[in-house]
Amino acid sequence: MTAKLDPVTLEVIRSALPAIATEMAADLHRTSYNMMIYEVRDFCTAMLLPDSRLVSQNVGGVSHFVADLGAIIVDGMNRYGAAGFKHDDVIITNHQAVAGQHLNNIVIYMPYFYKGELKMFSMVRAHWIDVGGISTGFGGGAEVVDPWMEGLQLDQLKIYENGKPVEILLKVIRDNIRFPDSSMGDMRSQIAACKLAHRRLDELFDKFGQTTMMEAIEYIFLETEKRCRKVVSGFPSGVYEAEAFLDDDGVKKGERVRVHAKVTVDQETGSMEIDLSGCSAERKAGINSRTLAGARVAYKSLTAPLDAVNEGSFNALKHVIPEGNIMMARYPMPMSGWSTIVPTVVDTIIKALAPAAKERIPAAHLGTLGAAVVFFGRNPKTGKAFVVQSIEGGGWGGRPHEDGESGSVSVCQGDVRNGSIEAIEMKTPVLVEKRALRTDSGGPGRFRGGLGLDVQVTNFVEGRWNLHSPARVECPPWGLWEGKPGNTSNYLLKLPGDNDFHEKDENRYPTPANAQVMVRSNGGGGWGNPLDREADRVRYDVIEGYVTIEHARSDYGVVLSAKDYVIDAAATEKLRSEMRAKAVA
């Protein structure tokens, strides 16, 4: 460390860089137009060096967004060259050949110059509600056959050149999306967030100078890497493997999709290799992705989940994901449902390490990005198109020392949250009848899995519902160490005149006014034998409505009185002894 980069200066810069990204996020959140950004917070903001290394990301930013921002910068530099970027250029991209996600995830980025020299790029990836095609909501789903069917493909296009708008290109984008005011407003918000970063970077570079700033960034990378290596050195050296499945790819029903992780730990160096080459080959359905997110999110969760993320967070990680793998699919394989598989990949990587760190590894969480609430149509009273969007969380797995969290979004999603009921009802013609924890959905265990949600919505006008269940019904979130799996998700539909709800699995399903939909999300898996759970805790779960009295008996062997839930100690001891003996037999 040089005299100019003293420890105090280093700490100021270390805190300032993620603070800039977080202020970008606040600016985007405050000025954006669509609920997926200002309510759900489905975005990330970041700064990267011209060589593609990540400087910082906003606190709470979507975890699986940040994994591939570097690939976009590499592609942009190859496309334009360092000399091809000018002050106040704005580039838009969502192309799946580089960082394969659904096309709704739009990246806006800008070059940052200091004294005429390209120093960084500021970037915002955010979810637009529509990009043409059948992208309305969360993309076209698994049945999309190619990117052209999904929507507009924007491949490293300059929409502003040296601060001047490229009007023809902006008009083409505007004319080919269903909600142009929303999406173009979001675009302006993304640009404003990038410009804010540049003002803050000017302040830092003016105060500390170029040499000190760049030296600090390199030092921060190095220290972050060392902390991660130290954590990995706590695992015994070895090769650890695990596998899981999705029920199917959404097109070939009943044909399972394999997820396989091989994790190699070198305790001496603190390095880790995550090999996903055993996963399914790319599919003709839209569940392919082209991303490092599965490996990187899992590694960050294992090493330093609460630390700020930067390139040093991943320097000690090697990922093996061959071309043509479902996680590294080749363009133009369809990727509209790209996020379907990623949370299960993360869980599988973590599961592989369970034998190496029993006291650290949880059971599986909901294993999807959440149960989506998507309803769209045209309001006859206003004549305007509308779309309802929310991501409903589910249960996390039981942990070695406590129950899993309930109603939380995926490990891949940072601070993403469900849409507020007030905003949904104020802006769209629906009524949210219920958003409640789903009784008995958490996997039984010594430490119970978290509960999923039941969300019931009535639509007051005709429209179309996306009712495609995440592909984890036959392959539920697993338990660990004799813990049981969590309950699985589905969609239920009740049409006017029906007496009961019935299951439905179809996207863009036309429904008349006054239909009701129940969106049900997964619970998490249990950790440890449920017969080892304290009877008093089971009784508490029954009182709180987390577990029914019937499941207290059948899953946990706890016998309660129907009237006031008093524990019958003798009957409980007898039943648990019988259940243990039966399990051994």
> Cβ neighbours of residue 81 under 8 Å, at least 6 residues apart?
none
- Please state, in angstroms and rounded to a whole number, the distance separating the CA atoms of residues 33 and 28: 9
pLDDT of residue 415: 85
Look at residue 123 in the predicted model and tell me its pLDDT: 98
Contact assessment for residue 272 and residue 317, using Cβ atoms and an 8 Å cutoff: yes
Chain centroid to CA 126: how far? 13
- Considering only residues 254 and 535, tell me which one the structure prediction assigns the higher pLDDT: 535
Q: Is 194 exposed, middle or buried (0-12, 13-18, 19+ CB in 10 A)?
A: buried
Q: How far is CA 565 from CA 68, 101, 116, 447, 573, in A?
A: 52, 49, 73, 20, 16
pLDDT of res. 90: 98
Query: Comparing 312 with 251, which gets the higher pLDDT?
Result: 312
**Buried-exposed string 262-291: b where 16+ CB fall within 10 A, e elsewhere:** bbbbbeeebbbbbbbeebbebbebbbbbbb
Instruction: In whole angstroms, give the CA distance from residue 288 to residue 109.
Output: 25
pLDDT band for position 4 (cuts 50, 70, 90): confident
Higher pLDDT, 141 or 146: 146
Compute CA 441 distance to the chain's CA centroid, rounded to the nearest angstrom: 21
Do 451 and 441 contact (CB within 8 A), yes or no? Answer: yes
Round to whole Å and give the CA distance between 517 and 514.
Answer: 10
**434, 440, 399: which is closest to 542 by C-alpha?**
440
**Of 520, 391, 387, which is closest to residue 43 (Cα–Cα)?**
391
Mean pLDDT of the chain: 95
Q: What integer is the mean pLDDT of 458-480? A: 89
d(CA 9, CA 26): 25
pLDDT at 140 over 70: no
Distance CA 476, CA 544 (A): 24
Dist CA 264 CA 260 (whole Å)? 13
Tell me which of 1-5, 108-112, 307-311, 495-499 is least confident: 1-5
**Residue 471 binned pLDDT confidence (cut-offs 50, 70, 90):** low
Which helix (DSSP H) or strand (DSSP E) does residue 422 occupy? helix 421-427
Structure tokens at 554: 């059948």
Q: What is the pLDDT of residue 2?
A: 64
pLDDT at 250: 83
Average pLDDT over residues 276-290: 95
Whose tokens are 């577990």? That residue is 547
Percent of the chain with pLDDT over 70: 99
Tens digit of pLDDT for each residue in 526-557?
Answer: 999 999 999 999 999 999 999 999 999 999 99
Residue 108 is which amino acid?
Answer: I
pLDDT in tens, 38-63: 998 999 999 999 999 999 999 988 98
Domain ranges of the chain: 7-224, 362-533, 535-584
Q: 442, 449 in Cβ contact below 8 A?
A: yes
**One-letter identity of residue 315:** N
Q: What percent of the chain has pLDDT over 90?
A: 86
Paired sense of beta strands 271-275 and 317-320, if any: parallel
Burial of 442 (0-12, 13-18, 19+ CB in 10 A): buried
Backbone angles phi, psi at 393, to 5 degrees: -75, 180
pLDDT at 473: 80
* Token couple for 341: 């598989």
Q: What are phi and psi of 303, to 5 degrees?
A: -100, -60
Measured CA to CA in angstroms, residue 405 lies from 85, 411, 494 at distances of 46, 12, 30
| pLDDT tops 80 at residue 143 | no
Token pair of 488 as six digits: 């699985």
Interval 349-372 mean pLDDT: 93
The answer to whether residue 97 scores a pLDDT higher than 80 is: yes
Output DSSP code: residue 467.
-
pLDDT digits (tens, 9 = 90+) for 314-338: 999 999 999 999 999 999 999 999 9
Pairing relation of β-strands 271-275 and 257-266? antiparallel
Which SS3 state, helix, strand or coil, does residue 6 take?
coil
Amino acid, single-letter form, for residue 437? L
Residue 74 has pLDDT above 70, yes or no: yes
35-40: average pLDDT? 90
pLDDT at 1 over 70: no
pLDDT value of residue 370: 82
Average pLDDT estimate for 7-12: 95
More confident call, 278 vs 66:
278
